[in-house]
Each structure stands twice: as structure tokens, then as C-alpha cells.
Amino acid sequence: MRSVWRHPDAWALLTGSAAATVFLLSSCSSFDGTVAAPPHIEGATFVGNQTCADCHTNLTRIFPTSAHGRYHRDDLRMAGSTGCESCHGPGSKHVAAAGARQFIVNPGKDPAACFACHLEVHAEFDLPQRHPVLEGRMNCVECHDPHGPDILKPAGGLAMARLNESCAGCHRDQTRPFVFEHEAMREGCVSCHQPHGSINAKLLVQRDANLCLKCHAQMPQGGGVLIGKVDHSQLLRLGSCWSAGCHTAVHGSNINPKMLY
Ligand code: HEC
Ligand code: HEC
Ligand code: HEC
Ligand code: HEC
Ligand code: HEC
Ligand code: HEC
Ligand code: HEC
């Protein structure tokens, strides 16, 4: 389990208000194929991935490369827990009706199917700062490919090209090229932002100078504190590194290598 649950503030906030959720979450994280209730479709039964393959060959072919495909069993009893139908619901009526849409769930429109297994992600989207998924203004698929190998597409973080694929589609200001690049960007947006939701403004992982200090070590010297060879002992009292007017252009700058606008 990663992201917000590691954060001590988030724990304090959530264990206070949602202890029941946290309890359920521990049972979900030790996934054994039985915890999740797949979406319900009145009167339909499970048919297994092989049946879907008859008409959806391309998706069925790439599915084994997905994080979800790794959990797949051909055993029909497990169909609702590990296969296509764990997200789309039992398919018998959809198949009998030659692919009629009203008999299959499309979780691209409604993330409830995902939350059956990812309870902790549901809680993250309930935090005070969040991407508006529960509000229906965007969905999981805008950042995750449900069928193929690219389920964590925005998190790769190896190159700007990867980031540009997803976050950049909506956030041009932060992802365009800069004359003075901030190398932190190469490690991905998630080194500073919680992608789902956060208790901090701007979805930040940490609200204060610690956000920056995890990469920029403080070096004690002669009663002062050096960061990047500059004495910061007075400066750190003025506010966070970006709000105190010092490094306002955290994503990169076109005019100043010290990350200023
Ligand atoms: C007999 C062929 C056939 C089989 C078998 C079949 N489908 Fe479909 N499916 C279709 C067709 C045709 C459509 C497109 C319907 C349309 O465009 O109106 C479709 C559409 C869908 C959609 C999109 C629904 C939407 O809201 O856009 C999903 C999801 C889906 N199928 C999942 C499955 C799953 C999961 C299985 C296996 C359990 C399966 N299908 C088996 C023919 C089939
Ligand atoms: C992790 C959940 C999940 C699993 C498992 C899953 N899907 Fe999907 N599927 C989705 C989501 C989410 C969408 C909506 C995609 C979108 O809107 O771009 C979708 C869309 C579809 C569609 C219609 C849109 C399209 O991309 O053509 C079909 C058909 C489909 N899935 C079939 C399958 C089949 C067949 C399998 C098994 C091989 C499968 N799905 C496994 C989540 C899942
Ligand atoms: C039947 C349970 C189930 C459902 C439904 C489900 N997932 Fe998952 N998901 C899993 C399991 C199990 C893993 C693997 C966890 C691991 O590898 O530690 C996983 C992993 C993931 C990962 C992380 C992959 C990684 O490599 O870390 C993402 C992202 C994800 N799911 C998104 C979704 C989305 C989006 C939906 C709905 C469209 C969805 N899941 C529906 C069970 C489910
Ligand atoms: C704004 C883009 C975005 C949206 C929307 C989004 N995710 Fe994610 N998600 C990410 C990124 C980026 C990561 C990788 C986080 C990391 O590496 O720290 C991630 C990680 C995950 C993981 C694995 C790690 C974890 O936090 O448990 C799961 C499971 C997951 N997402 C499920 C979902 C589901 C379900 C939805 C829809 C309800 C969703 N995500 C919507 C960007 C997004
Ligand atoms: C499909 C479009 C879309 C994608 C993709 C997307 N976002 Fe967002 N993002 C939004 C929307 C919409 C908001 C909410 C803006 C609002 O409420 O006015 C938002 C808000 C934010 C905020 C908070 C801004 C603020 O002023 O509080 C941050 C930070 C952010 N996104 C980072 C990311 C990161 C990092 C990724 C990739 C993992 C990403 N976004 C992917 C649409 C998107
Ligand atoms: C080095 C840490 C860091 C990295 C890496 C980072 N951000 Fe940010 N981001 C911040 C900080 C700090 C703020 C708050 C700035 C402020 O309030 O003035 C912010 C603010 C934002 C905002 C809100 C902008 C606004 O005007 O309110 C968006 C959107 C955003 N970031 C998107 C992204 C995206 C997309 C990526 C990856 C391409 C990314 N960030 C990478 C630190 C980072
Ligand atoms: C993921 C690691 C990482 C994070 C987090 C990070 N940085 Fe950086 N930053 C770097 C690297 C790597 C460099 C380039 C090497 C260097 O100058 O130390 C850099 C360079 C800089 C520079 C230019 C230094 C110079 O002398 O040219 C400034 C200013 C800066 N960062 C400010 C910040 C601020 C402010 C934050 C917090 C919002 C932050 N950084 C967070 C990795 C990071």
C-alpha cells in the first residue's frame, strides 16, 4: 500500500473519522480473490474470459499484460474475482443479447466497480483536496489503462515524454519545456503530488519545506544551514520554499535557474 496512507497526518485524520474503512482496507490489501463483490447485473451469471474473447479479441489478448491480468484464473468460479467480469459484472445476458450495452457495466463511466477492491483509493478521493472523480468530472481511465500494460502510465517518471502522456493532457503550464528545468520533474509529478487526493493544498505530498528537503539536504555549517551552498537559516522562517517568494517557479523557469518567475 502506498501513497496517502503512509502520511502520518492522513492517518490521524482518517483513523478519527473512518476507522471502519481502515479496517476493511486491511482485508482488501491481502487480496485472495474473495473479498470483492463484482458489479451486480440482474439475472446474469459468469461466463469467463474465453467467452469475451470471441467478440473482444484485442482486449482479451493484451489483458495478461495488465496488473489485473496477472491475477486471472481460467477457473470459472473465480471469474467474478479475477477476470473481465470482476470489473464488468457477469456477462451471460450481454453475450446472449449479442453484446447489448444495457447488460454490461462500463466502469469508465462509474468508478464504483473499481472501489469494490480499491477501498483505500475511494478514501483518497474523499480527502479535502482531490481530483474530481467522485464528482463525475473525470474518471480513472484518464490516468489508468484498465486492460493493457500501461496501468500506471502517469507514474513512470523516467522521462518527460511519459509524463506528457497523461498529466500534461490537462496541465500544460507545468509540463511545457522550460529554459531552466527543475530536475525533480524527471522523477515524476508524484514525487511532489498525491495524484488521487491529499489533505494538503494543491494535492501536495507535504505542505512545507520538507517537500523540498527530501531531495535538497540541509548542511549545518557554522551555526547556519546551507541548502545548495546558500545559507538558508533566516530564509526558512519566511515560509515554504515556494510561497516565500524565493522559488515560485517550482516546475521550471524560463528566466531564472533558481526557479523564479
Ligand atoms: C457475441 C459477441 C460478444 C461477446 C461474447 C461479448 N461481447 Fe461485449 N460487446 C459486444 C458488442 C457488439 C458490443 C458493442 C455494443 C454497442 O456498441 O452497442 C459490446 C460492448 C461491450 C462493452 C462496452 C459497453 C459500453 O457501455 O460501451 C463492454 C464493457 C463489454 N462489451 C464487455 C464484455 C465482456 C466483459 C464480455 C465477456 C463476459 C463480453 N463483452 C462478451 C459483443 C460481445
Ligand atoms: C480493472 C477493471 C477492468 C477489467 C479487469 C477489464 N476491464 Fe474492460 N473496461 C474497463 C474500463 C474502466 C473501461 C472503460 C474504458 C474507457 O472508457 O476508455 C472498459 C471498457 C471495455 C470495453 C469497451 C470500450 C473499449 O475499450 O472497447 C470492452 C469491450 C471491455 N472493456 C472488455 C473487457 C474484456 C474483454 C476484459 C477481459 C479481457 C476486460 N474488459 C477487463 C475496466 C476493466
Ligand atoms: C476484483 C478486484 C479488483 C477490481 C474490481 C479492480 N482492481 Fe485494480 N487491482 C486489483 C489487484 C489484486 C491489483 C494488484 C495489486 C498488486 O499487484 O499489489 C490491482 C492493481 C491496480 C493498480 C496498480 C497497479 C500497480 O502496478 O501497482 C491500479 C492503478 C488499479 N488496480 C486500478 C484499477 C481500476 C482503475 C479499476 C476499475 C476500472 C480497478 N483497478 C478494479 C484488484 C482489482
Ligand atoms: C489524475 C490521475 C489519476 C486518476 C484520475 C486516478 N489515478 Fe490512480 N494513480 C495515479 C498515479 C499517478 C498513481 C501512482 C502513484 C504513485 O506511484 O505513488 C496511481 C496509483 C493507483 C493505484 C496503486 C497505488 C495506490 O495508491 O493504491 C491504484 C490501485 C489506483 N491508482 C486506482 C485508481 C482508481 C480506482 C481510480 C478511479 C477511481 C484512479 N486510480 C484514478 C493517477 C490517477
Ligand atoms: C483529465 C484531466 C486531468 C488529468 C489527466 C490530470 N488532471 Fe490534475 N486536475 C484536473 C482537474 C479538473 C483539477 C481540478 C481543478 C479544479 O478543481 O478547479 C485538477 C487539479 C490538480 C491539482 C490541484 C490544482 C489546484 O489548484 O489545487 C494538481 C496539483 C494536479 N491536478 C496534478 C495532476 C497530476 C500530477 C496529474 C497526473 C498524475 C494530473 N493532475 C492529471 C484535471 C486533470
Ligand atoms: C518539486 C516538486 C513538484 C513537482 C515534481 C511537481 N510539482 Fe506541481 N506543484 C508543486 C508545488 C510546490 C505547487 C504549489 C505552488 C504554489 O502554490 O504556488 C504545485 C502546484 C501545481 C499545480 C497547481 C498550479 C496552480 O497554479 O495552482 C498543478 C496543476 C501542478 N502542480 C501540476 C504538476 C504536474 C502535472 C507535475 C508533473 C508534470 C508537477 N506538478 C510536478 C510542486 C511540484
Ligand atoms: C525529487 C527530488 C527533488 C525534489 C522533491 C525537489 N528538487 Fe529541486 N532539484 C532537484 C535536482 C536533482 C536538482 C538539480 C541538482 C541540484 O541543483 O541540486 C534540483 C534543482 C533545484 C534548484 C536549482 C538549484 C541551482 O542552484 O541551480 C532549485 C532552486 C530547486 N531545486 C528548488 C526546489 C524546491 C523549492 C523544491 C520544493 C518545492 C524542490 N526543489 C524539490 C531535485 C528535487
Tens digit of each residue's pLDDT (9 = 90 or more) over 196-209 = 999 999 999 999 99
Q: The C-alpha cell of 103 is what?
A: 447488460
pLDDT (0 to 100) of residue 165: 63
pLDDT band at 261 (very low <50, low <70, confident <90, very high): low
Residues 6+ apart with CB under 8 A from 42: none
Atom of ligand 3 nearest to the CA of 152: 29
Å from CA of 195 to ligand 7 middle: 20
Please work out whether the CB of residue 232 comes within 6 Å of at least one atom of ligand 7. Answer: no
Pocket of ligand 1 (CB under 6 A): 47, 51-52, 54-56, 84-85, 88, 91, 94-95, 98-99, 101, 104, 106
pLDDT exceeds cutoff 50 at 1: no
Count of H helices and E strands in the chain? 12, 7
Decide if 199 contacts 10 (C-beta within 8 A): yes
Percent of the chain with pLDDT over 90: 42
Among 193, 194, 169, which Cα is nearest to 250's? 193
pLDDT per residue as tens digits for the range 87-126 = 999 999 999 999 999 999 999 888 999 999 999 999 999 9
Q: What is the mean pLDDT of residues 160-184?
A: 79
- The alpha carbon dihedral of 154, 155, 157, 158 has a sign of negative
pLDDT (0 to 100) of residue 153: 62
Among 4, 92, 16, 93, which Cα is nearest to 48's? 92
pLDDT band at 162 (very low <50, low <70, confident <90, very high): low
What amino acid occupies position 70?
R
pLDDT per residue as tens digits for the range 36-58 = 577 889 999 999 999 999 999 99
Among 246, 243, 206, 251, which Cα is nearest to 230's? 246
Decide if 252 contacts 180 (C-beta within 8 A): yes
CA distance linking residue 138 with residue 32, whole number of Å: 30
